[in-house]
């Protein structure tokens, strides 16, 4: 999307507002499937938690993707988007057996990541094929909070417990139809990822009835012009070759599955906010926007550096700004960032706002969550309305103190 298109969205729908460019989602999807073009059966299951708007799910499904879900509610959103249950995989962590049973009833593929539930589910439903999530104990990125494959991570069943898994499978008579790993976000080193894949192949040999091997996700996307990103093309080349060799050895054409979230939607998203106040102190110039970590928490939660452009004055002289929000708490988006000169009333555009941005938004400070707009074939389509005061109070129950106590309020 260009600046004028973004400005037109801010004009039409007000600020703050999230905008997603469908063409970028499509080109990322094509890039991934092209990189793995040599694999006969490839399945991309989009990770719903990155951006879960039903219209976005519909669009991504139309491209050919299934869905990766982590809660019963995400499965229900997928079904509401028209995605058939057979194309939905449920990969929860630490949920109850009851929730897994409900999802299994809906017909989605179950992926289990602990021995206790595996045994309970296998005993009750030996006929329902199950995928197991393995922890290969490989660190994907540098950040231990978003890397979930390391030794003391809560995710997956340790590769050191394969004999235990096999005992459960034999005793229950259940069928394992998939093997899965997800080492977490930000794969920087392809060799590390391939090393984890080797562990998955070794694990797969212990199971005779597999239909797919799921390599999870964690592809790193660039946050600025010279930022590093996962080299998908190289990964495609090397992993495809290795996967095809494994299938020959295994004696069956398995499906290679990925479940990217960030890779498909991060760069497609823009967050637009209006500058309320320019505040000059003795050391800093603050640009304060009509938003905060209630709407975009990644900079405060993960230290993410979202590129910020002043689309109202893109050619202006650059100056240093700290971009902050209007929440009554520290909510810094950027410290001393070079941005073209900002005036009050300008619209700032935050990039990489497609993944884990709206889905992590809250009503903190009793602010409304922003609307979402899909930019599709040159048109701005509203896909979620801005909240209003009713959304803040609809579930609140106002106590009539006179009736229940001695005080009069
Ligand atoms: C979050 C998640 C993903 C998506 O990760 P990205 O970094 O957004 O690609 C995939 N699989 C599982 C199991 C997840 O929890």
Among the atoms of ligand 1, which is closest to the Cα of residue 180? 13
Provide the pLDDT for residue 183.
Answer: 80
At 409, is the pLDDT very low, low, confident or very high (cuts 50, 70, 90)?
confident
Ligand 1 proximity of 68 Cβ (cutoff 6 Å): yes
Nearest to 261 by CA among 193, 178, 184: 184
Ligand 1 center to 218 CA (angstroms): 6
In this structure, are 224 and 283 located in the same domain? no
Phi, psi of 289 (to 5 degrees): -100, 165
Ligand 1 center to 255 CA (angstroms): 19
In this structure, are 292 and 149 located in the same domain? no
Ligand 1 proximity of 220 Cβ (cutoff 6 Å): no
Residue 340 lies in a domain: yes
In this structure, are 218 and 128 located in the same domain? yes
The residue whose C-alpha atom lies closest to atom 4 belonging to ligand 1 is: 261
Whether the pLDDT of residue 94 is over 90: the answer is yes
In this structure, are 258 and 282 located in the same domain? no
pLDDT tens column, 229-241 = 999 999 999 999 9
Tell which one of 48, 51, 66, 68 to mutate to probe ligand 1, the residue whose CB is within 8 A of the most ligand atoms. 68
In this structure, are 275 and 220 located in the same domain? no
In this structure, are 342 and 213 located in the same domain? no
In this structure, are 297 and 169 located in the same domain? no
Nearest to 216 by CA among 130, 107, 145, 136: 136
In this structure, are 157 and 258 located in the same domain? yes
Ligand 1 proximity of 217 Cβ (cutoff 6 Å): yes
Provide the pLDDT for residue 224.
Answer: 87
At 339, is the pLDDT very low, low, confident or very high (cuts 50, 70, 90)?
very high
In this structure, are 99 and 241 located in the same domain? yes
Ligand 1 center to 55 CA (angstroms): 20
In this structure, are 222 and 88 located in the same domain? yes
Query: Would residue 131 show up in a list of annotated catalytic residues for this protein?
Result: no
Ligand 1 proximity of 92 Cβ (cutoff 6 Å): no
Residue 75 lies in a domain: yes
Ligand 1 center to 151 CA (angstroms): 18
Last residue of a domain, one of 230, 264, 298: 264
Residue 5 lies in a domain: no
pTM for this model (two decimals):
0.95
Beta-strand pair 109-112/88-90: parallel
In this structure, are 246 and 276 located in the same domain? no
The residue whose C-alpha atom lies closest to atom 2 belonging to ligand 1 is: 47
Provide the pLDDT for residue 142.
Answer: 52
Among the listed residues 131, 247, 328, 349, the single catalytic one is: 328
Range(s) of the domain holding residue 306: 269-387
Ligand 1 proximity of 331 Cβ (cutoff 6 Å): no
In this structure, are 44 and 157 located in the same domain? yes
Last residue of a domain, one of 243, 264, 285: 264
CATH code assigned at 294: 2.40.37.10
Last residue of a domain, one of 226, 245, 264: 264
User: Domain total for the chain?
Assistant: 2
Whether the pLDDT of residue 137 is over 70: the answer is yes
Phi, psi of 287 (to 5 degrees): -110, 115
Residue 15 lies in a domain: no
Residue 199 lies in a domain: yes
pLDDT tens column, 11-57 = 999 999 999 999 999 999 999 999 999 999 999 999 999 999 999 99
Ligand 1 center to 189 CA (angstroms): 17
pLDDT tens column, 254-298 = 999 999 999 999 999 999 999 999 999 999 999 999 999 999 999
Residue 403 lies in a domain: no
Mean pLDDT of the residues in the chain: 94
Ligand 1 proximity of 49 Cβ (cutoff 6 Å): yes
Nearest to 283 by CA among 247, 322, 254: 322
CATH code assigned at 229: 3.20.20.10
Provide the pLDDT for residue 139.
Answer: 66
Residue 4 lies in a domain: no
Residue 408 lies in a domain: no
């Amino acid at each position: 999307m260009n600046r004028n298109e973004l400005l037109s969205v801010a004009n039409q729908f007000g600020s703050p507002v999230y905008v997603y460019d469908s063409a970028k989602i499509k080109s990322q999807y094509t890039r991934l499937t092209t990189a793995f073009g040599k694999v006969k059966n490839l399945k991309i299951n989009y990770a719903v938690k990155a951006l879960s708007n039903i219209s976005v799910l519909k669009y991504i499904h139309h491209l050919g993707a299934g869905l990766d879900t982590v809660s019963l509610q995400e499965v229900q959103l997928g079904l509401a988007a028209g995605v058939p249950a057979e194309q939905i995989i449920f990969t929860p962590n630490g949920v109850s057996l009851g929730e897994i049973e409900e999802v299994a009833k809906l017909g989605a593929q179950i992926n289990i990541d602990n021995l206790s539930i595996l045994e309970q589910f296998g005993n009750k439903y030996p006929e329902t094929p199950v995928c197991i999530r393995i922890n290969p104990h490989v660190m994907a990125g540098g950040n231990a909070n978003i890397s979930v494959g390391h030794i003391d991570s809560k995710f997956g069943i340790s590769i050191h417990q394969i004999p235990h898994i096999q005992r459960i499978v034999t005793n229950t008579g259940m069928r394992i139809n998939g093997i899965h790993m997800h080492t977490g976000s930000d794969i920087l080193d392809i060799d590390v990822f391939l090393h984890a894949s080797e562990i998955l192949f070794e694990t797969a040999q212990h199971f005779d009835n597999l239909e797919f091997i799921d390599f999870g996700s964690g592809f790193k996307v660039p946050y600025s012009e010279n930022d590093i990103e996962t080299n998908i093309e190289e990964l495609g080349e090397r992993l495809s070759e290795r996967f095809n060799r494994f299938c020959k050895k295994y004696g069956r054409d398995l499906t290679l599955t990925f479940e990217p979230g960030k890779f498909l939607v991060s760069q497609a998203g823009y967050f637009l906010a209006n500058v309320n106040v320019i505040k000059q102190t003795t050391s800093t110039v603050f640009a304060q926007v009509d938003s905060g970590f209630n709407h975009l928490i990644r900079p405060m939660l993960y230290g993410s550096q979202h590129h910020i452009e002043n689309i109202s004055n893109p050619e202006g002289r650059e100056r240093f700004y700290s971009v902050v929000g209007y929440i009554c708490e520290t909510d810094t988006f950027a410290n001393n960032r070079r941005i073209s000169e900002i005036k009050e009333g300008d619209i700032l555009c935050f990039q990489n706002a497609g993944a884990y941005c709206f889905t992590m938004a809250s009503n903190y400070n009793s602010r409304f969550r922003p609307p979402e707009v899909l930019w599709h074939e040159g048109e701005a389509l509203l896909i979620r309305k801005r909240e209003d005061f009713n959304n803040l109070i609809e579930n609140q129950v106002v106590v009539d103190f006179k009736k229940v106590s001695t005080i009069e309020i």
